[in-house]
Amino acid sequence: MPGVLDGVTIIELAGIGPGPFAGMMLADHGARVIRVERPGAQQTKDILNRSRELVTADLKSEEGVAKVRDLAREADGLIEGFRPGVMERLGLGPDLLHADNPALVYGRMTGWGQTGPYAPFAGHDINYIALSGALHGYGRAGDKPTPPINAVGDFGGGGMMMAFGMVAGILSARQTGKGQVIDCAMTDGSAVLSAMTYTFLGNGQWRDERGVNLLDTGAHFYDTYETADGKYVSIGSIEAQFYAELRKRAGLAEDADFDPQMNPAEWPKLKEKLTTIFKSKTRDEWCALLEHSDACFAPVLSLSEAPNHPHNAERQTYIKVDGMVQPAPAPRFSETPAPKPRM
């Protein structure tokens, strides 16, 4: 069965990180994504490149440029991840491609954006989320900011934003006949991901310090804890009824120290108590007590453990394609489910 994006054609100029992630999401859901690689590029198994058609083109040659222009004439969208101005110098800028195909949605994936003082310069996820303010909030109290791998800038603020932008742009183009340029910057995207935090800040509910707020490990009931076997569990019992469930199941219902849940002055002391309590049992023992309840609990699983957890296994959150374990396409559509990926 074709996916929800069946009938959409995207040209993806080969890159790394967020551009391929956007292409993966579109291909996962049925779009025809044609990935343009340079001749002689080494082909390796890469989950981000799954479900693509592959063509080669030397973008520094007239023939290669002509090949991409021909592909773009028949496409709904194009994704590129070069620095600003590179595509124009190659003879593949949006003005030229829109002259060939007025309905083309032209996606430009960068870290800093097409404009601004940083626009011409190199960077990586850590830099983009640093400038957007997102990185400042990651880390423990008194510690330096800790990058959350590259999930927030490259993939949440970059690739996912680009995939959304391409779908929205194509929807508009099919209604109006007119394409447009999508300036997708990871600084912008990671800033958007911080919208809820700015709500807290604007309402006086957020201190610009790490590890002292409700959702940044400041609260004892929203944190990870080490267990007796050196593994970890997570709790997120924010609401009063869920906090009560945690206390009941952890044997803390009668401990009056835990009564003032929302008093930040008490959080450090209660965090120390929970640290000791969670170290008294193994992770599996805590799972037996707290899983399948409203205590807002889950074990902290490694990448190799996660596919085998019963919940993930039942939902087939992870699949194996050509011998490689990988996340299944998401989200899930009831009438047009994603086709099985191919490597």
Coil, strand or helix: which one is 105? strand
Residue 67: Cβ within 10 Å count: 17
Report the 10 Å Cβ neighbour count for 229.
12
Which stretches within 36-85 are classed as H helix? Answer: 62-73
Residue 124 annotated as catalytic:
yes
DSSP 297: E
Instruction: Look up 311 and say whether it is catalytic.
Output: no
Give dist(CA 123, CA 186) in Å, integer.
10
Task: Give Cβ neighbours of residue 173 (< 8 Å, ≥ 6 apart).
Answer: 76, 103, 104, 105, 179, 180
Listed in sequence order, the residues at least 6 apart from 249 whose beta carbon sits closer than 8 Å to its beta carbon are: 289, 290, 293, 295
Instruction: Catalytic residue, from 154, 188, 216, 223: name it.
Output: 154
List the structure tokens of 294.
């409203």
Q: CB 80: neighbour CB atoms within 10 A? A: 24
The residue whose two tokens read 């990586």 is 124
Phi, psi of 54 (to 5 degrees): -120, 130
Residues 258, 247: contact at Cβ < 8 Å? yes
Largest CA distance in the chain: 77
- Read off the tokens for 320: 């194996």
Q: What residues are labeled active site?
A: 124, 154
